[in-house]
Amino acid sequence: MRVAAIGQGFVGLPLSIAMASSGHTLYGVETNPDRFKSLRACRSYIGDVTDDELRTETGNGRYLPVPDLAEVPEVDVYVISVPTPLTEDKLPDLVHVDRALAQIAEVARPGVLIVIESTVYPRATRDHIAPLFEKLSGLRPGTDVFFAYSPDRVDPGRDIELCDIPKLVSGLDDKALELVRNFYGSVFKEVVPVTSCEVAEFTKLLENTFRYLNIAFVNELSKATSEMDISLREVVSAASTKPYGFMPFHHGPGVGGHCLPNNVHYLSHALNSAGHKSELLAAAAEINESMPRHVMRRLALSLEQQGKTLQGATVLILGVAFKAGVADSRNSPAFAIGAELVSMGTTVKVTDPWLGIDMAADTFTAVELTAEECRDADAVLLVTDHDEIDYETVLASSRLVFDCRGVIGAPEVEQL
């Protein structure tokens, strides 16, 4: 099939390469000029896609990056994998989806399948996306064009092939479900159909909010166990020996990335719209969003024991990516921690082996990790536990090391 995938980011690019390697002709639509240049040069900016994979699929003519949908010939399938952020009021913002629909409406022909991969709230496909497209194009969903919803299950940095992850699919009608099931069946090893787009939309939010809630739970416990002189990480490790009824989650400096801190608000919006306001989701968001300030307070106490204060101190943050092993800093707690420290009069420096020293922010200076930088800092704060960090140098050269991830086992290291 000929496929146009709008959005070549952390979801769209790996999916596009998977579809191309399955034999489809894939037009990767990327409007960001820097990203488009990288794609044309076969330089991947996504950790889950290699330069060699780009060269292979571009060389055989199955992957063709384009800067605009107007440059794409007639296709059989459109896939929308664009960001769905939050407004300032933390409500769902589908502006990027709407723009993609407007682009498709200008060129779509009857009979095409339109698949939404972006995270949306339940009933968004039925009540917002399909009606908007009909208004823009004059084509009727279910008759002229067919809408499907298939949420991404991408977890950057995880060592698992995308095509090995069961692919959830749904359609606004039986024909749409048949089309999307057959299409993704040619790419993924297992396709899981559900009865409606609403089920698939809700499933995506449940999957991510489940993780978010459990992280909030252990983050809340960590505040108490640090006062009780109990290692919560040892508690979780001990509980993990139970062969049923328990899943391990670990506390940390906050929750980053695009999906988890975003999806809890999408689910909250859906429940509010149904007249079921969730105090649990609100409490979880409050707990996880409070962790950067908690880290700052704990660090302040550790400095006080050395006769220092945050005001006038220099803190070196290790790791700015939102999780280990990725070059993605979206919503990273490092930014919030840096802002908290700066508000207290602290000089903040950061280093990250995955992001280099080209990071720009108002609250910190990016540096290379060296023994001198460690010695010059009053405290070294581990926020993201990349394997590539030189922990031996950190331990040998730092006056105070504060570990937010529980990966440095030395007794002199302060633990969150």
Tell me which residues are annotated as active site.
259
CA atoms within 13 A on the CB side of 344: 20
Residues whose CB is less than 8 angstroms from the CB of residue 201 and which lie 6 or more positions away in sequence, other chains included: 120, 121, 122, 123, 124, 125, 149, 151
| Cβ pair 323, 384 in contact under 8 A | yes
Q: Which residue has the tokens 């489940």?
A: 210
Beta strands in 332-407 (DSSP E): 347-351, 365-366, 379-382, 401-403
Give CA–CA dist 369/357, Å, rounded: 10
Integer Cα distance of 166 and 253 in angstroms: 31
The answer to whether 88 and 45 are in contact (CB under 8 A) is no
Which runs of E-coded beta strand occur in 106-212?
113-116, 146-149, 167-171, 191-193
Residues β-bridged to residue 135: none
Q: What is the C-alpha separation between 172 and 246, in angstroms, rounded?
A: 36
Helix axes 130-137, 95-107, angle to 10 degrees: 40
Nearest 5°: the CA angle 24, 187, 117 is 95
**Residue environment code for 380-401, b if the CB has 16+ CB neighbours within 10 A, otherwise e:** bbbbbbbeebbbeebeebbebb
Nearest of 146, 199, 141 to residue 168 by alpha carbon: 199
Question: Distance from first CA to last CA of the chain, Å, rounded?
Answer: 51
What tokens were used for 46?
Answer: 């996504």
Residue bearing tokens 């690019």: 13
Spacing of C-alpha 28 from chain mean position: 20
Measured on CA atoms in the order 88, 90, 95, 100, is the torsion positive or negative? positive
